[in-house]
């Protein structure tokens, strides 16, 4: 029997409904799973390309239904189309995106965002945080937790004992304190604590070269300190093929590597490639999770 994979349509004013339908009938998808669409239900008409509270609420309720079914074992995994953060805010929802909402819905105490592609894998230590606030939010505990989540998750991706690198926050990874002290005070101590727990991790490395080194096979994944530091290199190398995976959840959740694309919503021209890749990876991860013995969580 093929695994059932939930596909949420995301913000119904964006390209989500279109790419969800396209992905659900793609032969690459239907040959390996039974796709289950989670569409907007009982909502007032949504105008394509327009941010609205109604669209935000519709996206939220579809996610809640899919996560509930996955948590109850009725789905093997969930793949999500993109939502709009402004629409969530207009709807009065307190979550900035899928990651923190999914943590809330599943009760997961620690989560992280991984972007996976054949060319490069990146895990974000901070996500939707204004750049000016990153040094305050990037604590030793948060960074160490992100390293641990990556080390725990990557065996499901085929890396039995992953080799991780951590990017520095500042130019030249701080240049021994000359261009910032976060590497000395926060990043290096987090790496040391993770290494003492048996994790293969090194750094901090200058971010202008560490992603190149990883893309050439020197590292299995890179821990990035902030959103754009990690997403720029992976989107340069694999846009449309990269998949967003939430680490730390009791369920499997994958997603696209792009946004709602309001400018082309309703025009029938959206590319479903990233969502197809997300579904295929969800199938792969669910199979790996079923086949692997339980791994104790690190403390």
CATH of domain 110-241: 3.40.718.10
Which residue is associated with the tokens 């821990």? Answer: 223
Tokens of 117: 């592609």
Residue 286 scores a pLDDT above 80: yes
The pLDDT tens digits of the residues spanning 134-146 come to 999 999 999 999 9
Helical segments of the chain, H only: 16-25, 27-30, 53-71, 85-90, 98-106, 134-137, 140-153, 182, 188-196, 207-215, 227-238, 273-291
Mean pLDDT of 183-191: 97
Domains 1-108+249-299 and 110-241 share a fold: yes
Which residue is associated with the tokens 């990146």? Answer: 122
pLDDT at residue 97, rounded to an integer: 87
d(CA 182, CA 12): 41
Question: Residue 61: is it exposed, middle or buried by C-beta count within 10 angstroms (0-12/13-18/19+)?
Answer: middle
Mean pLDDT of 220-225: 98
Residue boundaries of the structural domains of the chain: 1-108+249-299, 110-241
Mean pLDDT of 60-81: 97
pLDDT at residue 297, rounded to an integer: 42
Instruction: At 46, give phi and psi (nearest 5°).
Output: -105, 135
* Residue among 84, 107, 108 nearest 96 (CA): 84
The pLDDT tens digits of the residues spanning 1-42 come to 899 999 999 999 999 999 999 999 999 999 999 999 999 876
**CA 15 vs CA 20, 129, 269: distances in Å:** 8, 25, 9
pLDDT at residue 296, rounded to an integer: 45
The neighbour count for residue 74, using CB atoms within 10 Å, is: 12
Question: pLDDT category, 221, cuts 50, 70, 90?
Answer: very high
pLDDT at residue 294, rounded to an integer: 55
d(CA 203, CA 213): 12
- Gyration radius from the chain CA atoms: 19
Peptide bond into 204 cis (omega under 30): yes
Q: Which fold has domain 1-108+249-299?
A: Isopropylmalate Dehydrogenase (3.40.718)
The model's pTM: 0.90
Count helices and strands in the chain by DSSP H and E runs: 12, 10
Mean pLDDT of 46-65: 94
């Amino acid at each position: 029997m093929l695994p059932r994979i939930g596909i949420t349509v995301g913000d119904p004013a964006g390209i989500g409904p279109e790419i969800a339908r396209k992905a659900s009938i793609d032969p690459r998808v239907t040959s390996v799973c039974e796709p289950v669409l989670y569409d907007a239900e009982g909502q007032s008409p949504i105008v394509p390309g327009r941010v609205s509270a109604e669209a935000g609420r519709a996206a939220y309720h579809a996610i809640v239904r899919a996560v509930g079914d996955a948590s109850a074992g009725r789905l093997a995994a969930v793949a999500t189309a993109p939502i709009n953060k402004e629409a969530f805010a207009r709807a009065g929802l307190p979550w900035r995106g899928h990651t923190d909402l999914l943590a809330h819905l599943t009760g997961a105490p620690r989560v992280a965002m991984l972007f996976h592609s054949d060319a490069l894998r990146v895990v974000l230590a901070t996500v939707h945080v204004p750049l000016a606030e990153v040094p305050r939010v990037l604590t030793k505990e948060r960074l160490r937790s992100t390293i641990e989540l990556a080390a725990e998750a990557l065996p499901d991706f085929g890396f039995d004992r992953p080799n991780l690198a951590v990017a520095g926050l500042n130019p030249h990874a701080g240049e021994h304190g000359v261009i910032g002290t976060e590497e000395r005070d926060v990043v290096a101590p987090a790496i040391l604590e993770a290494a003492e727990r048996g994790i293969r991790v090194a750094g901090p490395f200058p971010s202008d070269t560490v992603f190149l080194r990883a893309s050439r096979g020197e590292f299995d994944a890179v821990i990035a300190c902030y959103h754009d530091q990690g997403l720029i290199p992976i989107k340069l190398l694999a846009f449309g093929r990269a998949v967003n995976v939430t680490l730390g959840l009791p369920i499997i959740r994958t997603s696209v590597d792009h946004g709602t694309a309001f400018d082309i919503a309703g025009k029938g021209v959206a590319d479903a490639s990233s969502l197809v890749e997300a579904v295929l990876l969800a199938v792969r991860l669910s199979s790996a999770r079923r086949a692997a013995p339980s791994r104790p969580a690190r403390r």
